[in-house]
Amino acid sequence: MYHGDKDFALDSSTLLDMGVAIFLVLLNKICSRLGISKFIESYLLWKLPLEKYGLKPEHPFVEDYASCQMAIMPENFFNEVEKGKILFKKASKWWFCNEGIQFEDNTKVEADLVILATGFDGKKKVKTILPEPFCSLLEYPS
C-alpha cells in the first residue's frame, strides 16, 4: 500500500506487525501484576458498597493482598449491614459501657460484639521479618 510519499510506504504485513506489537504490549500491561491488581480493585469497588460505608482503603488494594491482609467476608455481610445489624463507626476515643460502646460525643451503640480495626500495618511487620531481597518485593510505587 502506497500513500504518495516515496520514502514512506506501508504494506499490509507491516501494519499487521505493528498491530501485533501493540497488542502484545497491551496484553503485557493487562497481565502484569499491576494490571491484574487494578482489575481486581475495580471489580471489588463495583461489586461491594465499600465507598458507601467508608470502607474503601486510601491505598491501592495490591498493598493489602501483597501483605496477606485482604479480608474475606461472610456471604451476606452487606445484607446484614443494610438491615442495621452491623455498624461501622470511626472513632479515636471510645470506651465500653453496660450497653456496648460509648463515644467521646456521648453517643452509645448497643453491641454484642465489637471488632477493633486499629490500622495495624501488617506489611510493615512482615518487612521487619523478611530478609532482603524478599522484603523489597512488598514495595509498590504509589
Supply the pTM of this predicted model.
Answer: 0.52
Of all helices (H) and strands (E), which one includes residue 44? helix 33-47
Give the residue among 72, 59, 73, 74 at the shortest CA–CA distance from 123.
Answer: 59
> What is the residue extent of each domain of the chain?
1-31, 36-138
Under 8 Å between Cβ of 60 and 41 = yes
Reading the chain (142 residues) residue by residue, the pLDDT tens digits are: 555 555 555 666 676 677 788 888 877 776 777 777 788 888 888 988 888 988 887 777 766 665 555 567 788 888 999 998 888 888 888 889 888 899 999 999 998 888 877 666 667 777 777 777 777 776 654 4
CA torsion sign, 55 to 58 to 60 to 65? Answer: negative
